[in-house]
Structure 1
């Protein structure tokens, strides 16, 4: 049976969170002389450390209690704090699947935690059989599942993820950075069924606020309390909170922009399939497409020379490039450039 107390670092259990001036006084006053702020200016006051208004809005949109929501400085803070809360440096372990999002590896290294990276199958699925020996390890505290996955674009099966949630006695973090582009249901709906579940989402992708750096974690209130205990006191600026609230006030615009991206993706997929050196266009439930080409390095470099920047994922998936869905104008320029490229097969392609 899952026990949160057993997997939290002892020093975190005993930690007394920093109490800021804005934590100790809630409400509105005429004179603020409690936080050593400059009395002049328009940005002179500290922001709400608990981002209450954002949580209240998301609570309605997502159908969860506001005490089940953590607001972070990007979803990268959600990832990093998980290591800080649950993993003893130099002792505990985390697990993820490869290819996937690179920050799991970076955060594990920063926190001196061994990261086990299990390869996905040839069709980018999780091999449940490969998990058996690892999930029994009492030092394995975290499993990261990016779904839809980056850079492959696919969602993992609900049955496989539920198997992991049912059998693993640590924390399962489902990274849903791209879930708004997918037809699959978010695992936020499963929070009441799994006390070890954390769902990470972001305002960087479908919401168009990448420069704002605001991420979200959804979990049971006990886990959220731990996140709030460990986070810096003012981790999300007032300007960034205002930008998020402005977006949340206009859900119709959000849907229009998202549907525009999805329509452009459908058109781009068809045009990419017509180009001879593109060997495969992988199905995608995100705002990007992974393509397999005869020579990824050459394609990438030729596009760079035309001032078109894609993501060369050759180091993760052989001869593959990840293409973000842009505007209609940007996508048209990309296709025109690709049609003009002269690509020679790579040595790996020649050897197949």
Structure 2
């Protein structure tokens, strides 16, 4: 049976969180002399001399309206990477506990586990890029605290079978983290809707992909109030800066524009897939629920280097398990996509690579 209290590290239970000046004040005021800020302003704008809201109340309220999740169940991180790191720091005892990942998948799960001295256990995806539930189950023991599931997955671009994820949620007593960075490009429903049914569920999303705000570094974690409270206890007091909060609020007023961009990117993804499949040296274009395509081709590494010589950067995934001879290609603008296709055809003309 899931018991959050058993998962929390003992030192985190005892932790008295840092109390910032803004934590000790609530309400409205016109004179702030509590946080040792520069009262004269800054070289930029007057209001950047003040610390930002440590709880991001207005941003969470705006996200709540868009996502239909209470603000108390929302955590904001300096990118999703901060959320990932905090989950390890809060719930995994270094040198004792372990975590399960399902490669090929997002690399920061493994990096953060190594940073936090948490044993990594790997249940590789099946050949169809779906979860291997039998292998995963065999890896879990009493010290397994976190299972990471990226859906839609990076770099394979597919969504995981929903029933498989529910099976894990129903049978695992630790936290199941479903990373939905690319969910906006998928027809699959977000697991955010299931928070009330699964107390051990954490859902990660981001402003970096569909919202087009990668430069702001703003990630979201959705979970029970109890889990969110633990994350808030450990995070740095002012982890989301003032500029990010302001610009996120403006972006959240433009949901219609974001939805239009999502539709356009999905249409271009479908069109790109069709073009790739006609290129003679392309062996396979995998189905995608993301804003990128995983493309298997002859001599992928050499194609990658050729594209670099033309000033086009894609991601070489050739050495990743199950992704032999694959490039991960993000959907660009119409102009960028056209330039990419022209370069690929030039490579074909120069090398006469064909399918076998």
Matches within 5 A, 1:287-302: 287-302=291-306
Shift of 1:344: 7.7
SS at match of 1:233: coil
Q: Deviations over 1:318-344 (max 9, x none)?
A: 100000000001001101110110458
Match of 2:32? 32
Q: Name whichever of 115-124 and 220-229 sits farther off.
A: 115-124
For normalisation by structure 1, the TM-score amounts to: 0.97
Match of 1:322? 328
Contact 2:207 2:213 in 1 (8 A): yes
Q: Name whichever of 252-261 and 160-169 sits farther off.
A: 252-261
- Structure 1 moving runs of 4+ over 2 Å: 342-345
Q: Name whichever of 105-114 and 58-67 sits farther off.
A: 58-67
Shift of 1:243: 1.2
Q: Give 2:137's match in structure 1, choosing from 105, 109, 132.
A: 132
Change (3 A) 1:44 1:255: same
Match of 2:271? 267
Q: Deviations over 1:42-90 (max 9, x none)?
A: 2100000000011111112111111000011000011000000000001
Could you say what the CA RMSD is over the residues aligned between the two structures, in angstroms?
1.4
SS at match of 1:341: helix
Contact 1:294 1:344 in 2 (8 A): no
Task: Say whether 1:153 aligns with 2:157.
Answer: yes
Shift of 1:118: 1.3
SS at match of 1:116: strand
Matches within 5 A, 1:32-181: 32-41=32-41, 42=46, 43-135=48-140, 137-181=141-185
Q: Give 1:249's match in structure 2, choosing from 249, 253, 273.
A: 253
SS at match of 2:49: coil
Task: Say whether 1:334 aligns with 2:340.
Answer: yes
Q: Distance in 2 between matches of 1:97 and 1:340?
A: 37
SS at match of 1:246: helix
Q: Distance in 2 between matches of 1:40 and 1:313?
A: 51
Q: Distance in 2 between matches of 1:210 and 1:138?
A: 37
Q: Please list every run of 5 or more consecutive structure 2 residues that lacks an aligned counterpart in the other structure.
A: none
For normalisation by structure 2, the TM-score amounts to: 0.95
Q: Distance in 1 between matches of 2:108 and 2:333?
A: 27
Match of 1:239? 243
Q: Distance in 2 between matches of 1:263 and 1:306?
A: 26
Aligned residue-pair number: 347
